[in-house]
Amino acid sequence: MKFDRPAGHNPIDQLRVVGKPTDRIEGRLKTTGTAPYAYERHDVVPDQAYGFVVGSPVPKGHIERIDIRGAKASPGVIAVVTTLDMPRLEKGPMNAAYLFGGAEIQHYHQAIAIVVANSFEQARAAASLIRVNITGQSGQFDLSTQVADAPLAHGKIPPLDRVGDFDSAFATAPVTFDQTYTTPDQSHAMMEPHATIAAWEGGKVTLWTSNQMIAWARRDVATALKIPPENVRVDSPYIGGGFGGKLFLRADAVLAALGARAAGRPVKVALTHPFLMNNTTHRAATIQRIRIGATRDGKITAIAHESTSGNLAGGGPEAAVSQTRLLYAGANRLTSMRLAHLDLPEGSSMRAPGEAAGMMALEIAMDEAAEQLGMDPVQFRILNDTQVDPEKPDRQFSRRQLVKCLQLGATHFGWNRRNSRPAAVREGDWLIGMGVAAGFRNNLVTKSGARVRLGDGGLVTVETDMTDIGTGSYTIIAQTAAEMLGVELGQVKVSLGDSDSPVSAGSGGQWGANNATAGVYAACVKLRRTVARKLGLDPDMAIFAGGHVQAGGRHFGLADATRDGELVCEDAIEYGDLDKKYQQSTFAGHFVEVAVDAFTGEIRVRRMLAVCSAGRILNPKSARSQVIGAMTMGVGAALMEELAVDRSRGYFVNHDLAGYEVPVHADIPHQDVIFLDEVDPISSPMKAKGVGELGLCGVSAAVANAVYNATGVRVRSYPITLDKYLDHLPQVL
């Protein structure tokens, strides 16, 4: 189905099932521990052996020799495969780091061997007996030392973009602001580690794995193993969190396949947390300079955002300037991204790549500029709203309700009670402050397919390689099929994550829900027409409701169409150029209240609110869960999360969930989420957009702004830890 014009009225608009706050249909499996995650797929193939991956002890160098004699002689060992046994494996287009093969070391804990044994303990013990001789090389591990010489980055986003004459406009602006902010390296820290079971049958391999993008995984496995893609099957029905860390092929899948081939039996591999934090990917640190020029009444006339991040050769930048190109008005604009070469593990996508880190800086800068102007920070943002792309004024936003998000949020949160004078509000020993930030994330559209079956008794089965990373994909896909075919939710079965199914959008970048359901919509439209013709009805007039089909005064049960056997239809949503004609984005207003202990400096988040404008909300219950989870992640980024770099040895020191701190229940108060009543017919037939990453973008800055309002101490280097502000707290009287 081609989607090349705004959606008109369609069956989804009935909102009989879609749009309802529906419990997750797989929820019982997850809460009872019976949902089969990758490492737990004990039943898919017999005689599974265990693989343990060995990583490089140095961040850069050349392997001279690997002694595996002790490992091979260890009890229970079936096979040992080392990186010297084969040339460097070809990497897919999404990977910067090479995953295996060859003698060159690019980063610490790069995989250099796998030991396969009858038990996990035997494999781990044998791995400790491997001896490696490496000629080490010096490397670059400190972003701050590379900023001055970092070249412009090259990628999909222009590394240097100018509109108007920023330099002149900034130099002549009555009010100017210029500050630098830093964000640290961050880990995805998902609950389920990267894990894979691999089994060969002849020249074909099946991977039961944890991966967000099934088609990409299948392609890249085939590339690495030098076999046809049709000889690779990837199955990933349940994923215990990914946040972008499982978008691309990683070492667990490749080494499970190599280990299984060497052992002649199925092999299962799970990366330990200390290993995966250095072996896989992370959000790269940034150094961001933001300049704002404005009139005395608060109109922005010049805005610049320049960001530097680091990565391995072939890697991309953290695109921290992307939101600044679109969020606020201003005739004279400058954005740039520079990319330093670092010999740290690969930097790549993490939830809301670009905007999450970029808004951590931009939305503090907006608060600081508002204070310099003597303006309320909410009003400053509203004053500089734009309904068109600031770089292309003839290109409108499809829907843009940022102002309403901020106004409604301010009213609901009680913003009028905020004291604009920092450190002016106390409750006993606690300093109280409120903070605000805008939220922004682009809406991305991409082709997505599905297969829909109508079987005996009117049972509907949906098959697509779409994944569920805890986001509720099973439920919203079932809701879509139930709405389109006029059946109850219980009559729909959903099969996800299998590469034998049609290729979908996959889970990532906030694009999954809208595109995947639109693909199901397309397949259901085809099935509706097939059913109508089978029953002798006019497809354009047929109404599907209550398990029946009617048109022209004739009435049939849906199951009547299957008297001669199952009906199967497959289609995909394919987009025209609407996303080029209109800027499609999502917006939010984030509000936070914090309390800071005047004596100890302890920060407590007390209240949080997100008001979101993101098209039609397909399932308010699961959408709210996505947003409050993202808000929680924003608190972590603001106050806790930082991968500490050993700048002499080139690795992340706090590489486990004991040293890498994330929020727990006790850290998070009650969170409110408000969704604006909105549809966006330019986005898709579902009239929806993504929301999961929008809930993160801006939250950290709202926390930081609240801390400043409470204490009068401005911290521009995340995370906001005690060492950065304790000595500057107001004097306790």
Residue 410 lies in a domain: yes
551 and 645 both lie in a single domain? no
| pLDDT at 86 (0 to 100) | 98
Active site residue 693: yes
3-state SS class at 93:
coil
Contacts of 77 (CB under 8 A, 6+ apart): 71, 115, 116, 117, 122, 123, 126
601 and 696 both lie in a single domain? yes
- At 572, give phi and psi (nearest 5°): -145, 150
Under the banding of pLDDT at 50, 70 and 90, the label for residue 157 is: confident
547 and 676 both lie in a single domain? no
pLDDT of 156 over the 90 cut: no
- pTM of the entire structure? 0.98
Alpha-carbon span 200 to 207, nearest angstrom = 9
Q: Which two tokens stand for residue 624?
A: 């709210």
pLDDT of 436 over the 90 cut: yes
CATH number at residue 567: 3.30.365.10
In tens, the pLDDT along 510-563 reads 999 999 999 999 999 999 999 999 999 999 999 999 999 999 999 999 999 999
467 and 434 both lie in a single domain? no
Asked if residue 347 lies in contact with residue 334, where contact means CB atoms within 8 angstroms, the answer is no
**Peptide bond before residue 719 is cis, with ω within 30 degrees of 0:** yes
Average pLDDT of the segment spanning 124-139: 98
Under the banding of pLDDT at 50, 70 and 90, the label for residue 154 is: confident
650 and 564 both lie in a single domain? no
In tens, the pLDDT along 380-402 reads 999 999 999 999 999 999 999 99
Alpha-carbon span 16 to 479, nearest angstrom = 9
| pLDDT at 586 (0 to 100) | 98
**Number of domains present in the structure of the chain:** 2
What residue ranges in 480-584 does DSSP mark as E strands?
492-495, 543-545, 548-551, 554-557, 567-575
From 346, 463, 483, 693, the catalytic residue: 693
Residue 673 lies in a domain: yes
718 and 598 both lie in a single domain? yes
**Domain range for residue 649?**
394-443+584-728
In tens, the pLDDT along 76-126 reads 999 999 999 999 999 999 999 999 999 999 999 999 999 999 999 999 999
| pLDDT at 181 (0 to 100) | 98
Average pLDDT of the segment spanning 671-690: 98
Q: Which of 318, 323, 322 is nearest to 347 (CA)?
A: 318
Under the banding of pLDDT at 50, 70 and 90, the label for residue 720 is: very high
Contacts of 692 (CB under 8 A, 6+ apart): 351, 471, 510, 513, 626, 627, 629, 630
In tens, the pLDDT along 213-256 reads 999 999 999 999 999 999 999 999 999 999 999 999 999 999 99
Residue 211 lies in a domain: no
549 and 659 both lie in a single domain? no
State the first-to-last Cα distance of the chain, in angstroms, to the nearest integer: 69
Average pLDDT of the segment spanning 567-575: 98
Cα distances (Å, whole numbers) of residue 395 to 390, 391, 615: 9, 9, 19
Contacts of 56 (CB under 8 A, 6+ apart): 63, 105, 107, 108, 109, 110, 111, 112, 132, 134
In tens, the pLDDT along 213-224 reads 999 999 999 999
In tens, the pLDDT along 490-504 reads 999 999 999 999 999
Task: Single out the residue in 543, 577, 611 at which a domain terminates.
Answer: 577
Alpha-carbon span 570 to 453, nearest angstrom = 9
Residue 16 lies in a domain: yes
Alpha helices per DSSP H over 535-603: 578-581
604 and 674 both lie in a single domain? yes
In tens, the pLDDT along 437-452 reads 999 999 999 999 999 9
560 and 619 both lie in a single domain? no
3-state SS class at 624:
helix
DSSP assignment letter at 166:
H
Residue 121 lies in a domain: no
588 and 721 both lie in a single domain? yes
611 and 689 both lie in a single domain? yes
430 and 487 both lie in a single domain? no
Under the banding of pLDDT at 50, 70 and 90, the label for residue 653 is: very high
Cα distances (Å, whole numbers) of residue 336 to 163, 180, 305, 349, 389: 12, 14, 7, 19, 18
| pLDDT at 258 (0 to 100) | 98
pLDDT of 158 over the 90 cut: no
Task: Single out the residue in 560, 577, 594 at which a domain terminates.
Answer: 577
In tens, the pLDDT along 318-343 reads 999 999 999 999 999 999 999 999 99
- At 668, give phi and psi (nearest 5°): -115, 125
| Mean of pLDDT over the chain | 97
- At 708, give phi and psi (nearest 5°): -65, -45
Query: Quick one: how many helices (H) and strands (E) in the chain?
Result: 15, 32
Residue 364 lies in a domain: no
Asked if residue 709 lies in contact with residue 721, where contact means CB atoms within 8 angstroms, the answer is no
Q: Which two tokens stand for residue 413?
A: 């949160």
Residue 402 lies in a domain: yes
Cα distances (Å, whole numbers) of residue 49 to 38, 124, 225, 483, 723: 14, 12, 20, 45, 48
Under the banding of pLDDT at 50, 70 and 90, the label for residue 275 is: very high
Alpha-carbon span 132 to 134, nearest angstrom = 6
Task: Single out the residue in 577, 595, 629 at which a domain terminates.
Answer: 577
In tens, the pLDDT along 583-594 reads 999 999 999 999
Render the burial of 61-88: b for 16+ CB within 10 Å, e for the rest: bebeebebeebeebebbbbbbbbbeeee
* Residue that is written with structure tokens 């998000």 in the block: 405
The dihedral of CA 408, 409, 415, 420: what is its sign?
negative
Q: Which two tokens stand for residue 575?
A: 């987009």
3-state SS class at 491:
helix
